[in-house]
Structure 1
Amino acid sequence: MDVHVNQLKNISPIDGRYKRSCQEVSEYFSEYALIKYRIIVEIKWLLFLNDKEYFFPKVSEKSLSNITSIMELINDNDILRVKKIEEETNHDVKAVEYFIREKLESLKNEEITKVIPYVHYLCTSEDINNIAYGLCLYNCIHNIIIPNIQNIIDKLKEFSFNYSDVSLLSKTHGQPASPTTFGKEMSNYYYRLYKHINKLKNIEIYVKFNGAVVNFNAHKVCDPNIDWIDNIKYFIETYFNLHFSLYCTPIRDHDYICEIADTLARLKLYIDRFIC
């Protein structure tokens, strides 16, 4: 196996020895993925402003499609360009903002030129970041983790039915005891995993999008007549399928991450018991 010296400089074995096993997850938790999701959040904010038409310049469907394509066609060169800009800005989210402005300018469209001042409009970095992190977790859980665990659950359910008549000597305190069946023992593991995977599915990811000190200050200055709480709630729930956190500090609490980690730990514990 060819090993590049850069691989040996990885900070953790997840990026080195176990990279092949974690390849799927890198699509959600790498810096590449984080930059991608930041771009998506920024573009969807523009789409939301266009959708509401409060103060946003009128944009045709064709121009809107061109704006949308920035997030739909993200490629390696785009990510590298963001990193190049970051060398100058020394600010990761600001680099994404400048990148999007650059992409919009390159379209050389009069309609789209009027949109450029609204990139990152009313946003603070944490508004973008906390949604991006939330999307990383949400998509990995629902696209990778849950389907893989569900495969194990389905197999255990199959064993429970198919081997319900296969007798098995049970033990208690390490001593032979009353008989049981292989199917019944498999159903024990099935039920435990089933219960906790449903908890994982139903964990709600809360995010903020209400400015630097979480009071909609800039929003109110922009237009005091808009119900910003209702609008931002709609934006988060409709555009990202996440939940809006109205009451929080400038840095959103990460209670939902604790819930996810705790549920995953219990799922792993039950899977380990089944395997061992």
Structure 2
Amino acid sequence: MTDRGPLSAVSPLDGRYARYTEPLVPYASEKALMRARVEVEARYLLALADLDATPLDLDSEERDAVTAAHEEFDDGDADLVKRIETEGARGYSATNHDVKAVEYFLREHAPERAHSWIHFGLTSEDVNNLAYRLLLKPAVEAVLLPELREVRDSLVAFAHEHADTPMLARTHGQPATPTTFGKEMAVYASRLGRLVARIDAAAAGIAGKLAGASGTYAAHHVAYPDVDWRAFSREFVEDLGIEHAEPTTQVNPCDDLAAVFDALRGANDVLLDLDRDIWRYVSDGYLGQETTEGETGSSTMPHKVNPIDFENSEGNLSKANSDLVFLADYLTTSRLQRDLSDSTVKRNVGSAFAYCLLGYSKLRRGLGEIEPNPVAMREELEAHPELIGEAVQTILRREGHGDAYERVKALTRGRHVTLDDFHELFADLDVPDDVRAELEALAPETYLGVAADLARDA
């Protein structure tokens, strides 16, 4: 058998980037899915034992053994579940069915009289939809959101520290009204903050179903028609920390998951925008990057310090978004009451989250290694005196000059101008001396509006 270490991995997520994606292993691995399925089956068995209508009774020692099946689930247990599924074990023939293998595994932890009650009235999708949600919710809340909050906090720190650092703004790629570096970081911090709240809300709204083969509780109802199975299902699902979904087909409509995927995609779009802007600021010399001893920037150009973290983040977030859009579109559809195509697709949720995590980690690292260059920013502002044109024509409008825009346009459009050119214009204007002084005091590096206040409010 060939080596199965990181260097033999088919996917870079488990190979080159394994050290970055490791935090998702408890939520996105095959072992994690097995454990979550065992948890659903075990807690369901205990819930049935608590139901007055059923004759099942488990003593405290038996209940502890059932609970331990998922709370103490380890590599050996995962291997046993896989062997029951693929080759047979412990007296069971190969099931070729992952959920049935979990059912047989749980029999190893429950008394024989309880075996008929394991998976009672359930379809595999009852177990799977809950298991995936038991994993997806904490993957978002405990892994992805903290990374996003770290990125946001870094942006807030930049906003506050560089609230007053003037910088050339560009609209349509052309020099435009000046801004400050802090204010631009505040924009991203604010956008990301809103998306973090949206992701948090979407994760809180994850909902699960437990309603049988066609979503009608038919098997449960035929066995015990006097039990309020809808109330039982709601209580059971909510006890898992998940909202209850009803009505459903056999499939739990994945609108809840699609909301999470879409919220993550929205945050990724903001960060992609940031990656590209930071890349340009590095290219323009507005931002310097820390160098690492022994690190190679280029195999042939020794002088280079490339913005590789931002480029890596951009690539991984783009891949993540492609996967998230696909998942949201695919998982919200099913032929009639059930088809199985979603089963294999759901196994890629972890990959989408892993590309998100890679993008966030690389971006956070990149932000920790850049430093604004106020001198370079100021020099470029001073090289573009035409930027005060907006201020000039606005003041002249205030003073009643109906041709203000046209006069400034004639002076500046498509031409290289200096502050002296503006001052010659001011000398010819029919304006009070205090207004002329106001105009002559204008400079690109001070024409910043309330940018600093906006940055400090981040």
Q: Which residue of 1 aligns with 2:238?
A: 237
The answer to whether the Cα contact below 8 Å between 1:156 and 1:190 also exists between their aligned partners in 2 is: yes
Other-structure match for 1:91 = 97
- Decide whether the 8 Å contact of 1:170 with 1:176 is kept in 2: yes
Task: Indicate conservation of the 8 Å contact 1:169/1:178, yes or no.
Answer: yes
The match for 2:19 is 20
Match of 1:272 in 2: 272
- Unmatched 5+ stretches in structure 1: 105-111
Aligned-residue RMSD, C-alpha: 2.1
CA contact (8 A) 1:56 1:115 kept: no
CA distance in 2, matches of 1:69, 1:134: 21
Instruction: Give distance in 1, aligned partners of 2:71 and 2:249.
Output: 32
Amino acid at match of 1:211: G
Asked if the contact 1:39/1:71 (under 8 Å) is kept, the reply is yes
- Provide the C-alpha distance between the structure 2 equivalents of 1:198 and 1:24, rounded to a whole number of angstroms: 22
Residue 241 of structure 1: how far off its partner (Å):
1.4
Name the residue aligned to 1:176: 175
Q: Which amino acid aligns with 1:73?
A: E
After superposition, give the CA deviation of every residue in 1:151-195 in whole Å (9 maximum; x if it has no partner).
111222232233323332322333333332222111110111111
Report deviation, 1:77.
0.4
Distance, in Å, in 2 between the alignment partners of 1:60 and 1:121 is: 19
- What is the Cα deviation at residue 118 of structure 1? 1.3
Q: Is the 8 A contact 2:66 2:106 kept in 1?
A: no
Give the partner amino acid of 1:274.
L
**What CA distance in whole angstroms lies between the structure 1 residues aligned with 2:196 and 2:85?**
39
Partner of 1:186: 185
Q: Identify the residue that residue 257 of structure 2 maps to in structure 1.
A: 257
CA separation of 1:191 and 1:90: change in aligned 2, threshold 3 A: same
TM-score normalised to the size of structure 2? 0.55
Distance (Å, rounded) in 2 between the aligned partners of 1:52 and 1:183: 60
* Residues 143 and 115 (structure 1), Cα distance of their counterparts in 2 relative to 1, 3 Å cut: same
Match of 2:208 in 1: 207
Provide the residue aligned with 2:108 in structure 1: 102
Percent identical among aligned pairs is: 34
Contact 1:49/1:56 (<8 A) preserved = no
CA 1:164 to 1:103, structure 2 compared with 1: closer, same or farther past 3 Å? same
Task: Tell me: CA distance 1:191–1:118, structure 2 relative to 1, closer, same or farther (3 Å).
Answer: same
Q: CA deviation at 1:63?
A: 2.8
Greater mean alpha carbon deviation, residues 157-166 or residues 181-190: 157-166
Deviations 1:186-225 (A, max 9, x none): 1110111111111111112222211011110111122111
In the alignment, is the contact (CA less than 8 A) between 2:9 and 2:15 conserved in 1? Answer: yes
- 8 Å Cα contact 1:169/1:177 also seen in 2: yes
Q: Is the 8 A contact 2:165 2:182 kept in 1?
A: yes
Partner of 1:120: 119
Q: How far 1:149 sits from its partner (Å)?
A: 0.6
Q: What does residue 223 of structure 1 align with?
A: 224
Opposite residue 214 of structure 1, the aligned amino acid is G
- Superposed displacement of residue 5, structure 1: 6.1
Q: Closer, same or farther in 2 for the Cα pair 1:181/1:259, shift >3 Å?
A: same
Cα contact 1:216–1:228 (8 A) shared by 2: yes
CA–CA distance in structure 2, aligned partners of residues 11 and 212 of structure 1: 36
Shift, 1:231, TM fit? 1.4
| Whole-angstrom CA distance in 1 between matches of 2:102 and 2:10 | 25
Query: Could you say if the C-alpha distance between residues 152 and 5 of structure 1 is closer, same or farther in structure 2, counting changes exceeding 3 Å?
Result: closer
Residue 107 of structure 1 is matched in structure 2 by none
SS at 1:169's partner residue?
strand
Indicate if the aligned counterparts of 2:65 and 2:109 stay in contact, CA closer than 8 A.
Answer: no
Moved over 4 A (4+): 5-11
Which residue of the partner structure matches residue 53 of structure 2?
Answer: 54
